[in-house]
């Protein structure tokens, strides 16, 4: 069975494709009766392949596609992708709080946190989770109570199978968004100036940034600004971004709420590449961080290796630290070290990813983004939930004392 990352070779014993909650409950019961490990497949985008379990039973919720919108709330099935939800919300002149890639399952993204272009103005995807239906380890289906809903806001799929969510929508249909590209040799200059700009960024501005090779092999620094607010003010911030260096390309303008998700789908398509990923959070793009990132970019093994950076600010930082399981509420830059390969094998790419992570560690905040931490990142996982770890373990003991669900390792 294939998922997004072709390097995942896990072979389950059974795959149960579910189209409703009753079928999910029956599948959980079957796994329990047959003594099989259990995993849940939604969008299948987890780079570590945790949607599949070796010689176990995989519950494929891809058939749970129902979407309804009433006022500013969307009810979405557990198999709905971010793009499908965004299109449904867009038909009503609204937007779902999602991430950056359309084919990612909205449920998996949301219950793991959910960084995205509305982070500054609306918070994490998890911060907009209003309710959920969950099939527990004993097969019973419940409406999430206060404890369980709290844990689902960042604690991941460790508590059951989420068959349906209710999420708050945002009142906009279009945004000012696009890409501003700079030559790769301007990386030091652009990232240093970007750090100053991010420190001043208003809630309405999100900037995804990083370094990659263009399709013709040209090294480039990219910024993907998204402005959700009064368009003339957004245009001024785009001009400020253009002045970070000397742009090669600047294509920013009014777009639908779904357009950026579709663009990212093309960049990170499931096209046979193998992937590995590391992540950490840095408090700012300091001179030391910029130097380490530039060094990493200059030494990357291939054009499939990418540095992505997400600015965590605004509304997401104003949530009380104990309001959700998600543990990091101070302003930061989340760094994704993404390394891909085709025919040359993983060794050089994993080495580069590890070396880049190690070069940034001394400047990093404790922990990291749980949705992206691999199962071997033990030290980061222990710190990721901060002071929320004890309550999270308590909720786990209450709802899944036998550890049936292990989507994101808990401290």
Q: Report pLDDT digits (tens) over 296-351.
A: 999 999 999 999 999 999 999 999 999 999 999 999 999 999 999 998 889 999 99
pLDDT at position 191 is 98
Beta-strand (E) ranges in 118-193? 129-135, 141-143, 161-170, 174-183
In the chain, % of residues over pLDDT 70: 100
Domain 67-171 fold is 3.30.465
pLDDT at position 406 is 83
Q: Please state the domain extents for the chain.
A: 14-60, 67-171, 174-379
For residues 283 and 255, what is the distance between their CA atoms, to the nearest angstrom? Answer: 31
pLDDT at position 173 is 73
**Is residue 409 pLDDT above 80, yes or no?**
no
pLDDT at position 1 is 76
pLDDT at position 268 is 82
For residues 271 and 338, what is the distance between their CA atoms, to the nearest angstrom? Answer: 15
pLDDT at position 47 is 94
pLDDT at position 322 is 96
Q: What b/e string do you get for 106-123 counting C-beta neighbours within 10 Å, with b at 16 or more?
A: bbbbbbbbbbbbbbbbbb
pTM, full prediction: 0.95
Look over the chain and give the mean of its residue pLDDT values, rounded to a whole number: 95
**Is residue 30 pLDDT above 80, yes or no?**
yes
**Is residue 197 pLDDT above 80, yes or no?**
yes
Chain centroid offset of residue 21 CA: 25
pLDDT per position as a tens digit, 61-106 = 999 999 999 999 999 999 999 999 999 999 999 999 999 999 999 9
Lookup: tokens for 164:
């349906």
Lookup: tokens for 9:
């070779």
CA separation, residue 220 to residues 102, 162, 185, 214 (Å): 23, 40, 8, 7
Pick the CATH number of 174-379 from 1.20.140.10, 3.30.565.10, 3.40.462.20, 3.30.465.10: 3.40.462.20
pLDDT at position 359 is 98
pLDDT per position as a tens digit, 245-263 = 999 999 999 999 898 899 8
Domain 14-60 has CATH 3.30.70.890: no
- Residue with the two structure tokens 């990291």: 368
Average pLDDT rounded to a whole number, residues 202-218: 96
pLDDT at position 299 is 96
**Is residue 288 pLDDT above 90, yes or no?**
yes
Between vectors from CA 266 to CA 233 and to CA 373, what angle results, nearest 5°?
A: 85
pLDDT per position as a tens digit, 131-177 = 999 999 999 999 999 999 999 999 999 999 999 999 999 998 788 99
């Amino acid at each position: 069975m294939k998922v997004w990352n072709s390097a995942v070779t896990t072979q389950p014993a059974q795959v149960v494709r579910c189209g409703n909650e009753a079928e999910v409950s029956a599948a959980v019961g079957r796994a329990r009766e047959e003594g099989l490990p259990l995993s849940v497949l939604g969008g299948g985008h987890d780079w570590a392949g945790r949607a599949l379990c070796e010689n176990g039973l995989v519950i494929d919720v891809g058939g749970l596609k129902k979407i309804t919108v009433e006022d500013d709330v969307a009810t979405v099935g557990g198999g709905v992708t971010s793009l499908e939800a965004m299109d449904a919300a867009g038909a009503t002149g609204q937007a779902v709080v999602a991430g950056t890639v359309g084919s990612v399952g909205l449920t998996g993204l949301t219950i793991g946190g959910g960084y995205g272009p509305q982070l500054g103005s609306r918070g994490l995807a998890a911060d907009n989770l209003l309710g959920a239906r969950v099939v527990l380890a004993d097969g019973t289906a419940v409406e999430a109570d206060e404890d369980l809903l709290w844990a689902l806001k960042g604690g991941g799929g460790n508590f059951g199978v989420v068959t349906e969510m209710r999420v708050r929508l945002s009142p906009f249909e279009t945004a000012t968004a696009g890409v501003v590209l700079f030559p790769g040799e301007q990386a030091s200059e652009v990232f240093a100036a970007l750090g100053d700009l991010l420190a001043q960024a208003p809630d309405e501005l999100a900037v995804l940034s990083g370094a990659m090779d263009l399709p013709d092999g040209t090294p480039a620094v990219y910024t993907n600004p998204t402005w959700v607010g009064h368009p003339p003010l957004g245009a001024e911030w785009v001009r400020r971004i253009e002045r970070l260096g000397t742009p090669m390309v600047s294509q920013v303008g009014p777009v639908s709420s779904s357009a950026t998700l579709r663009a990212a789908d093309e960049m990170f398509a499931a096209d046979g590449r193998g992937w590995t990923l590391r992540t950490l959070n840095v408090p700012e793009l300091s001179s030391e961080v910029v130097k380490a990132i530039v060094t990493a970019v200059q030494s990357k093994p291939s054009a499939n290796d990418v540095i992505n950076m997400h600015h965590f600010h605004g509304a997401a930082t104003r949530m009380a630290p104990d309001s959700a399981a998600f543990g990091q509420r101070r302003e930061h830059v989340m760094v994704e070290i993404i390394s891909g390969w085709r025919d040359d094998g993983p060794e050089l790419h994993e080495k580069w990813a590890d070396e880049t992570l190690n070069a940034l560690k001394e400047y990093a905040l404790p922990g990291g983004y749980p949705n992206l931490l691999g199962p071997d990142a033990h030290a980061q996982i222990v710190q990721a939930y901060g002071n929320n770890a004890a309550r999270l373990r308590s909720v786990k003991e209450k709802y899944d004392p036998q550890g049936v669900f292990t989507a994101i390792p808990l401290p």
